[in-house]
Amino acid sequence: MRLLTAAGQRELDRLAAAEAALPTRVLMESAGGAVARAVLELQPRKVVAFCGPGNNGGDGSVAARLLRETIPEVYVWFTRSPDGLKGDAALAAKAWQAAGGEEAKKTLRGGPGVVLIDAVFGSGLSRPPEGAEAEAIRAMNSARERGAKIVAVDVPSGIDADTGHVYPVHIARADLTVTLHAPKRGLYLHPGADCAGRIAVAPIGIPRALEEKLSGPVPEAMFAALPGSGPLAAADLPPLREALKGKSALAIGPGIHRGPETGPLIGELVAGAEVTVLDADALNALAEHRDRIAEWSRKAPTRPLLTPHPGEFARLTGEETERALSDRVESAVRAAQRFGGCVALKGAHTVIADPEGSSAICAAGNPGMATAGTGDVLTGIAAALLARRSGIGGTSERGRLAVFVHAMAGDLAAAEIGETPLVASDIVRIGLPRLFRRWGR
């Protein structure tokens, strides 16, 4: 499923009104209805909708109005006076009042059976919450500590919808996020992913065909031994080229030694191999020649796949690790476009991007996989999938599949023996066989 940025969702809303005769007020009613249905599944005895000043707050007002038809105790906590609201949010608030709706008391108590609707910010947050909005978030979290559940509308308040960045003091920790039309990127990027709870995607009537009109892309073995040992050098190129004849894929990086000639040698192998997976010290060696990586990629019959962890990514790009991790999707896209290959930026919810600007986030995987050698397993899986002469797509599609297979195998291994101590061989010995049996392979 495609992941949208906040700007992408705003553009879709505009297109829905301009080309599909679906004004925001209609979409708001659909969104509020979807949220109300999700809340009803929790069988609450009491509901309080926390509504901010924008359209997300309007969604919350609609949900509250609809829930009032079924649940006796439904209240709305407005962060701004309804008289001061504008546009469709004002209309939704007036409809709530016309239906006899009451405002919540500011001395909210939580407890089992209480459901709180977080409709304060949604995907529109671009600064730390403050004032009445911050007070509402504190009230929700306090009630949650006493047993209430939080259902967030689109994106929990306090999460950046694009990067997953959170404002720690003011973050609504949702039990369920009802994301509208399509998931937002920040729901799958840490640390935001830790605060989103279960994610449910709710269609609100926007035709999928409109996504194609968005202005930019949207995010979605054999071996041969060399004589001797030590760093790869220019003298190794002829025997390596000979060994690669007739081979479908090359994986290089884990376990190699680096020397002054290693980077250019790897570059020449990339240019000549059918398709290459680059990891570990192959990436560290190429970092010393980063300005030539795009040149080697252009010469390759098929674009390479680079699989760095954050530290390797920082060395490869020359960027500070903190900057790279501040927006992992944009960082991966930027590197893919710079180097001319597909980039899988590993970590909690790996991001994979291609030079066209498309990206995908893998929601599978677990913390137990953050151990030595698990990245090498991904390298092998990717090489095996890239070597196939039939099946889906090119490097981008097969790279995404490799990341997903690796993560799912890790989850299945963890389900069998626990996340700790999970080692690389467990993914190969336990996870992959279970995954293939599940898929009937």
Where residue 187 sits, what CATH number does that domain have?
3.40.50.10260
Question: Would you state the pLDDT for residue 233?
Answer: 61
Strand (E) positions, 245-335? 250-252, 276-278, 305-306
Same domain, 209 and 78: yes
Range of the domain at 129: 6-213
Same domain, 256 and 325: yes
Spell out the long-range contacts of 92-97 with Cβ–Cβ below 8 A and sequence spacing 24 or more: 92/28, 92/32, 92/57, 92/58, 92/59, 92/61, 92/62, 92/65, 93/51, 93/57, 93/58, 93/61, 95/61, 95/62, 95/65, 96/61, 96/62, 96/64, 96/65
Same domain, 58 and 177: yes
- Enumerate residue ranges in the chain where pLDDT < 50: 218, 220-227, 229
The answer to whether position 407 is within a domain reads yes
Question: Would you state the pLDDT for residue 221?
Answer: 35
H helix count then E strand count, the chain: 16, 13
Question: Would you state the pLDDT for residue 400?
Answer: 95
Tens digit of each residue's pLDDT (9 = 90 or more) over 150-171:
999 999 999 999 989 998 778 8
Q: Which of 248, 374, 378 is CA-nearest to residue 307?
A: 378
Same domain, 89 and 118: yes
Question: Would you state the pLDDT for residue 64?
Answer: 97
Tokens of 225: 């031994």
- 191: preceding bond cis by omega (within 30 degrees): yes
Same domain, 26 and 59: yes
Question: Would you state the pLDDT for residue 156?
Answer: 97
The answer to whether position 220 is within a domain reads no
Helices 55-67 and 24-40: angle between axes, nearest 10 degrees: 50
The answer to whether position 412 is within a domain reads yes
The answer to whether position 229 is within a domain reads no
Q: Looking at the 3D structure of the chain, how many domains does it have?
A: 2
Tens digit of each residue's pLDDT (9 = 90 or more) over 347-397:
989 999 999 999 999 999 998 998 878 999 999 999 999 988 666 789 999
Question: Would you state the pLDDT for residue 234?
Answer: 63
The answer to whether position 132 is within a domain reads yes
Question: Would you state the pLDDT for residue 329?
Answer: 93
Tokens of 79: 């962060």
CA–CA distance, 236 with 427 (Å, rounded to integer): 33
Q: Identify the domain boundary among 213, 246, 277.
A: 213
Q: Identify the domain boundary among 179, 213, 247.
A: 213
